[in-house]
Amino acid sequence: MRLSVIGCGYLGAVHAAAMASIGHDVVGIDVDQAKVDRLVRGEAPFFEPGLNEILADGVASGRLTFSSDMAAARGAAVHFVGVGTPQQQGGHGADLTYVDAAFTSLVSHLRPGDIVAGKSTVPVGTAARLAEVVAPTGATLVWNPEFLREGWAVQDTVAPDRLVAGVPAGAEGERAAQILREVYHTAVASDTPFIVTDYATAELVKVAANAFLATKISFINAMAEIAEVTGADVTQLADAIGYDARIGRRFLGAGIGFGGGCLPKDIRAFSARAEELGRGESIAFLREVDAINLRRRDRAIELTVEALGGSAFEKRVAVLGAAFKPHSDDIRDSPALDVAVRLRGLGADVVVTDPEALENARRAHPQLQYTEDLDEALRSADVVVVVTEWPEYRHELDPAHAGELVNARAVVDGRNCLDVRTWRDAGWTYYGMGRPRG
Ligand code: UDX
C-alpha cells in the first residue's frame, strides 16, 4: 500500500520505517529539512535501537522516501499524522499548533476515499473537530493512537499489544477500519487485538493508558515516602504486591519518577481537558500523581546533600545518567537532568555522564560538565548519583573499581537499580529511594 507519514519525530520516523519494513511504500514528510536530509541518507535523527537498520533497509529498497514537501503525500491511500503535541507554554493543556498546521497543509492533497489516520496524542474532542476539516475532500478521518515506548519503539510498532481505531459511524467507518487492518497486516495476522471505537474512545484510550501508568509509578513512589519514615523497603514491597497478577510488578519501580515526552505532559493535558469539560474532579488525583512524581526529585537531592554531610557546596558530584530512561537519548522532562541541574544550583561541581544522551543534554544545559568516560565522571567524586538505570551502571559498573576512583564511597541510587549487597560489601554507603540506609 502507498502510505504517507506526516511528522518524522520519535513517532513518525519509527512509524514510516516500520511500515516500509512490512512491505508498504512509504513517504515520510517533515517541515524540518535537516531532519529530512538525515532520514534520506537512512540515518535516524535520534537514538532508537533497531531504527537505523530498518531505515537503511527501507531507503535502500526504494520503498521508503522522505520529503519536506507536503505534495509528496499525494497518491497515498493512508496518511498518518504523527506530529508533536507538546505542553502549552505557560499552561497545562496540549499545544495543537503542529496538528492543526499538518491538517491544514494536508487537505489540499487529499483525494476522495483517502484515509487520514491521526496518531498524535490529542485532547478528547480533537478528532471530531478535525473530521470536519477533512470531510469536504471526501477523505475519511480515523484516530489510531500509538502506544510505543522509546527504546522499544520499533518492536512496539511492528508487533503492538493492541491496535485501536476510532472511526466514524456506518459504512464509511467500516471501510476505514478494514483499510487499517490491511495496513497492519502482519500484526492482524498474528491475532493482535484490533479494537474499533468512536473517535472519543480512541482518543481517551491513549490518555487513560498513560494516566494509569503514571498513577502506578506515583503509587509506588508514595509507598516509598511511607517506607522512608517507617524503615520499610519499597522494592520488597513492590515485589510482594507485584506477585498478585491483578497488580503486576511492571511500572512499580520506585525512584526519581517518570519523565519524557509523554507521561508528564499527557497527564497535565488530560487534567486541563477534563477541567474544560466540567469534570476536573474526576481526575483531580492526577495532580497528586504529578506532585508525588516531582517530590521524588527533591528527595534524591535531599539524600545527596545528606550523603555530602549537609552541604553540596563545592563538592564533586558524579551524576550517572541524563536520559529520562535507559535505551534513549531523550532528555525531555528528564528527572535525571533536573536533579543534576538542581545540584549544580546548590553549588556542587557536577559531572554528568550518559551512554547516549550527552549531546542533547549539552545543548539544553551547557552550564553542566559532561564526560563520555564513566571512570572520568567517577574520579574524585564526593558522591555518586545514579539517575538513569542504564545496564552500564546497573550491571557493568564494579563497585570495587568505582571505589578506587572516587573521593568518598557514597552512592545515591535514584532508580533503586543497584545491587545493594555488592555495593555495601565494597565499602559503599548506599542511599536508596524508599529503602533503608546501608
Ligand atoms: C510512555 C508509555 O509507556 C507509552 O505506552 C506511550 O506511548 C508513551 O509514553 P515512554 O515515555 O517511552 O512511554 O516511557 P516509559 O517506558 O513509559 O517510561 C516513562 C518514565 O517512567 C521514565 O522516566 C521511566 O524511568 C519512568 N518509570 C517507568 C519509573 O519511574 N518507574 C517504572 O516502574 C517505570
104 grid coordinates: 491544514
Same domain membership, residue 234 and residue 137: no
Q: The sheet that has 115-118: what strands, in order across it?
A: 64-67, 25-29, 2-6, 78-81, 115-118, 140-143, 163-166, 194-197
Query: Which structural domain range is residue 391 located in?
Result: 198-438
Q: How far is CA 92 from CA 41, 89, 413, in A?
A: 37, 8, 31
**DSSP reduced 3-state for 163:** strand
Same domain membership, residue 372 and residue 294: yes
Residue 217 CB–ligand 1 contact under 6 Å:
yes
Distance CA 227, CA 231 (A): 6
**Block residue for cell numbers 549537609:** 310
Report the nearest-CA residue for atom 7 of ligand 1: 147
Q: Which atom of ligand 1 approaches the CA of 146 most closely?
A: 7
| Residue 8 among the catalytic residues | no
pLDDT digits (tens, 9 = 90+) for 16-66: 999 999 999 999 999 999 999 999 999 999 999 999 999 999 999 999 999
Mean pLDDT of 165-174: 98
The whole-number pLDDT of residue 219 equals: 98
In the predicted structure, residue 125 carries a pLDDT above the cut 90: yes
Same domain membership, residue 240 and residue 152: no
Distance CA 325, CA 260 (A): 8
Catalytic residue among 19, 83, 116, 262: 262
Helix or strand (DSSP H, E) at 370? strand 369-370
Same domain membership, residue 273 and residue 182: no
Q: Is 380 left (phi over 0), alpha (psi -120 to 50) or beta?
A: left
Q: How far is CA 322 from CA 15, 187, 356, in A?
A: 26, 34, 9
Same domain membership, residue 191 and residue 202: no
Q: Tell me the best of 46, 119, 203, 262 to mutate to test the pocket of ligand 1, counting ligand atoms within 8 Å of each CB and taking the most.
A: 262
According to DSSP, residue 283 is labeled G
Same domain membership, residue 394 and residue 277: yes
CA 198 from centroid of its chain's CA atoms: 26
Strands 64-67 and 349-353, by their bridges, are unpaired
pLDDT digits (tens, 9 = 90+) for 140-155: 999 999 999 999 999 9
* 196 within 8 A of 177, measured Cβ to Cβ: yes
What one-letter code names the amino acid at 382? D
Q: How far is the CA of 215 from the centre of ligand 1 (A)?
A: 11
| 437 band by pLDDT with thresholds 50, 70 and 90 | confident
The whole-number pLDDT of residue 232 equals: 98
Distance CA 298, CA 352 (A): 18
Same domain membership, residue 30 and residue 156: yes
Same domain membership, residue 275 and residue 140: no
Residue 264 CB–ligand 1 contact under 6 Å:
no
According to DSSP, residue 94 is labeled B
Average pLDDT along the chain: 97
Distance CA 142, CA 195 (A): 12
Same domain membership, residue 228 and residue 120: no
Same domain membership, residue 32 and residue 133: yes
pLDDT digits (tens, 9 = 90+) for 325-379: 999 999 999 999 999 999 999 999 999 999 999 999 999 999 999 999 999 999 9
| 9 band by pLDDT with thresholds 50, 70 and 90 | very high
* 99 within 8 A of 62, measured Cβ to Cβ: no
Domain boundary (154, 172, 196) is at 196
Report the nearest-CA residue for atom 26 of ligand 1: 258
Residue 263 CB–ligand 1 contact under 6 Å:
yes
**Number of alpha helices (DSSP H) and beta strands (DSSP E) in the chain:** 18, 14
Report the nearest-CA residue for atom 30 of ligand 1: 257
Q: How far is the CA of 107 from the centre of ligand 1 (A)?
A: 34
According to DSSP, residue 310 is labeled S
Q: How far is the CA of 78 from the centre of ligand 1 (A)?
A: 29
Q: Tell me the best of 217, 221, 249, 295 to mutate to test the pocket of ligand 1, counting ligand atoms within 8 Å of each CB and taking the most.
A: 217
- What is the torsion angle, in degrees rounded to the nearest 10, for the CA atoms of residue 176, residue 179, residue 183 and residue 186? 110
Report the nearest-CA residue for atom 31 of ligand 1: 253
Residue 213 CB–ligand 1 contact under 6 Å:
yes
Same domain membership, residue 337 and residue 235: yes
Closest among 283, 149, 273, 287 to 218, alpha carbons compared: 287
- Domain CATH for 41: 3.40.50.720
Q: How far is the CA of 235 from the centre of ligand 1 (A)?
A: 18
Distance CA 438, CA 431 (A): 7
Same domain membership, residue 203 and residue 173: no
Closest among 173, 175, 74, 86 to 131, alpha carbons compared: 173
Residue 262 CB–ligand 1 contact under 6 Å:
yes
Phi, psi of 222 (to 5 degrees): -65, -40
Number of domains present in the structure of the chain: 2
Residue 265 CB–ligand 1 contact under 6 Å:
no
Domain boundary (196, 218, 248) is at 196
| 438 band by pLDDT with thresholds 50, 70 and 90 | confident
Mean pLDDT of 10-15: 97
